[in-house]
Amino acid sequence: MKNIDATIVTIGDELLIGQVIDTNSSWMAQRLNEIGIAVKKRIAIGDSFDEITAMLNDECGNVDVVLITGGLGPTSDDVTKEVMCRYFNGKMIVDTLALQNVKDLFEKIYRRPVSESNLAQAEVPDVCTVIQNGRGSAPGMIFHKDDTIFICMPGVPYEMQGIMNEVIPYLQQQYNLPVIIHRTILTAGAGETILAEMIKDFEYSLPRDIKLAYLPSYGMVRLRLSTSGFDKQITEEKINSRFLILKGLVKKYTVTDIDISMEQVLGELLIKKNKTIATAESCTGGAIASLITSVPGSSAYFEGSVISYSNSIKEKLLGVKKNTLDKFGAVSEETAIEMLKGLLKNLQTDYGIAVTGIMGPGGGSTEKPVGTVWIAVGNATKIETKKLHQRFDRRKNIEVTSAMALNMMRLFVLEN
């Protein structure tokens, strides 16, 4: 039995110039990993006949699976299908199911006439297996050559994900796949250097087939153990015994021992305690509320948010005193506390988060430089505050502040 390796290829000039961010690769890599296929390489290339052909030559016979997204649209710059047809010595034919899908899509959903270029999307090389696209007009295609499976899918994430629902069981039928197991601990309060020093003896003692990864992000670090094997029970027992030791070593800084986000951890905690929460956000502009509501079922505990970006909104909606703003400024502990008190009073939630700060690039001063942030979390009887000194650009300052605020709220709920 052998491990099955994959290469993920994204095609499109828009990816190379940064006009569109590639989210397909990470999504596909996770799905492949879940079924025991390891991604060895990720490639991004433009809409170039020669570049795509060179990629096919390089990967053919050297990897088991090649997943390709992009370049299947109806415009002249979409050349992937033509390249695949020539490379596999095929000729274009009309797939009747794909043709009917295109007609139905335009007549029943888009409610406009079908152009010739759109009809041409139903044409596929006669040497491929067609995967019908239930979410768009361009079908997926499967090719075989030299023990390598090539799978082409649209670049639109929603359409690609729909086709991957067909691709995953297909690959499971083609190969005897190992089980790949990850065990993850989310930590907060210690950087990766501190954690590495704490667990250096443990890391040194790990067998070669168990890998430890440090994944830092926004004041938190994920510690991930990974291994693989063809006997699920033996593989799980092997990694679980090591994971138990790791959990004991970093217990002081552990947020959760399952691979979920901070907002999911907080949400589960609020559900368990049957409590509600709201946010009052100035400098983060709703980013904290966005994280909270990204979790399915968050309506069970999240009541709402006040985006009090201006001082007048802080006064009118949250009851921050004008004297407080004049004396201490909008970015101050006093203002953050009054924002939180007003939030709890008006929205009648059990807990609340308030943030105010300067995210940059301008707006700072000698006393309050860019990156100065005050966070307040609490309930009707107790409030805790924290001052942050961020050093990043505007976007990352907002992201780090949001993550820190959620963790502060988590700790407060646990302790109160």
CATH architecture of 262-415: Alpha-Beta Complex (3.90)
Per residue in 122-132, pLDDT (tens digit) is 999 999 999 99
CA-based torsion, 409, 413, 415, 416: positive or negative: positive
Residue 29 pLDDT exceeds 90? yes
Q: Is the pLDDT of residue 1 over 80?
A: no
With a cut of 80, say whether residue 193 has pLDDT above it. yes
Q: Are 336 and 318 in contact (CB under 8 A)?
A: no
The pLDDT score that the predictor gives to residue 32 is 96
User: C-alpha distances in angstroms, 291 versus 160, 216, 321, 398, 413?
Assistant: 25, 18, 29, 12, 18
Do 187 and 251 meet the contact criterion of CB atoms below 8 Å apart? no
Summarised one tens digit per residue, pLDDT across range 205-227 is: 999 999 999 999 888 999 999 99
- Name the class of domain 4-174: alpha beta
Residue 74 has pLDDT above 90, yes or no: no
| pLDDT on residue 330 | 97
What is the side-by-side strand order in the sheet with 254-256?
A: 211-217, 220-229, 179-188, 254-256
Q: Is the pLDDT of residue 393 over 90?
A: yes
Category of 111 on φ-ψ map: left (φ > 0), alpha (ψ -120 to 50) or beta: left
Let me know the angle formed at the C-alpha of 56 by 51 and 59, rounded to the nearest 5 degrees: 120
Q: Which CATH architecture has domain 185-256?
A: 2-Layer Sandwich (3.30)
* For residue 51, pLDDT beyond 90: yes
Question: What average pLDDT does the chain have?
Answer: 95
E strands of 16-139, at which residues? 37-45, 65-69, 92-94, 123-125, 129-131
pLDDT exceeds 90 at position 342: yes
Cα–Cα dist 8/217, whole Å: 25
pLDDT band at 103 (very low <50, low <70, confident <90, very high): very high
Strands 140-145 and 148-153: antiparallel
Strands laid side by side in the 140-145 sheet? 37-45, 4-11, 65-69, 148-153, 140-145, 129-131
Give dist(CA 336, CA 376) in Å, integer.
6
4-174 and 185-256 have identical folds? no
Q: Supply the pLDDT for residue 158.
A: 96
pLDDT score of 349: 98
Q: What is the pLDDT of residues 250-299, one digit of tens each?
A: 999 999 999 999 999 999 999 999 999 999 999 999 999 999 999 999 99
Examine the pLDDT at 137 and tell me if it is beyond 80. yes
- What lies within 8 Å, CB to CB, of 129 at 6+ separation is 141, 142, 143
Cα 13 to Cα 45, 87, 349: the distances in Å are 7, 21, 49
Give the per-residue pLDDT at 313: 97
What gap in Å lies between CA 302 and CA 349, rounded to an integer? 9
Residues in the chain: 416
**Cβ-count burial of 161 within 10 angstroms (0-12 exposed, 13-18 middle, 19+ buried)?**
middle
Residue 243 region by backbone torsions, left for phi larger than 0, else alpha for psi between -120 and 50, else beta: alpha
Please answer whether residues 95 and 130 qualify as being in contact, where contact means their C-beta atoms are separated by less than 8 angstroms: yes
Residue 369 amino acid letter: P
The ranges assigned to domains in the chain are: 4-174, 185-256, 262-415
Q: Work out the angle at residue 393's Cα, subtended by the Cα atoms of residues 392 and 397, and round it to the nearest 5 degrees.
A: 65
